[in-house]
Amino acid sequence: TPAAGVNVPERGNIFENVSEFNNAASAPITINPRSPANLIVSATAATDTAVAGTPVTVTWTVQNSGFNPTIESFWNDGIYLSADSILNTSTDIILGTVSRSSGLGLGGSYNGITQVTPSFTLAGTYYVFVLTDYGGNVYELSNSDNGGPPERITLLTAPAPDLNVEQVFVDT
């Protein structure tokens, strides 16, 4: 059981005649942990089709579905690109992060928007995910539901450059 204690100045610093042995006391206390916030990405949207190597606009909504406002006022949201519809932060590509610099009240939400650029070497069907609290800064009961729904995107191969020789110089 946790206990709180109070100590007065060290023995001998204040003259109390014969009352030096009553300078400390303790009593059990009850500490109830604070119920945490719970951040979830409730919506994700991205450009349907894009040319690889060009910017893609991603938007999302984060909600606090927990029991209290966030204690923290700073965290990041991460934007991932996945070859399948399952977020795996170990193997999927992190395209960027966006900082959040204010807390979120109970039941509150915010919208995010950013542009990310998938590598020009990618082509085909991919999925964009937003992971709120990227880095795990916010006190939550569980971070397992911080990844939002996937948004399908088709990346087209960037056209190959078409170089034409316009002039030739010969040094004589």
Residuewise pLDDT in 10s, the chain (172 residues): 565 555 555 655 666 666 666 667 778 888 877 789 999 999 999 999 999 999 999 999 999 999 999 999 999 999 999 999 999 999 999 999 999 999 999 999 999 999 999 999 999 999 999 999 999 999 998 889 999 999 999 999 977 788 888 888 888 7
Task: Look at the alpha carbons of 152, 52, 87, 107 in this order and tell me if their dihedral is positive or negative.
Answer: negative
Measured between alpha carbons, how far is 60 from 78 in angstroms, rounded to an integer? 11
Q: Are 127 and 84 in contact (CB under 8 A)?
A: yes
Task: Identify residue 167 by its one-letter amino acid code.
Answer: Q
Q: Are strands 75-82 and 109-116 parallel, antiparallel or unpaired?
A: unpaired
Q: What is the pLDDT at residue 35?
A: 87
CA distances from 53 to 95, 111, 154 (A): 12, 25, 12
Measured between alpha carbons, how far is 157 from 51 in angstroms, rounded to an integer? 6
Q: Are 149 and 112 in contact (CB under 8 A)?
A: no
Q: Looking at the whole model, is its pTM more than 0.85?
A: no
Tokens at residue 7, please? 């100590």
Task: Identify residue 79 by its one-letter amino acid code.
Answer: I
Q: Are strands 49-51 and 151-156 parallel, antiparallel or unpaired?
A: parallel
Q: What is the pLDDT at residue 159?
A: 79
Q: What is the pLDDT at residue 161?
A: 80
Q: Are 154 and 47 in contact (CB under 8 A)?
A: no
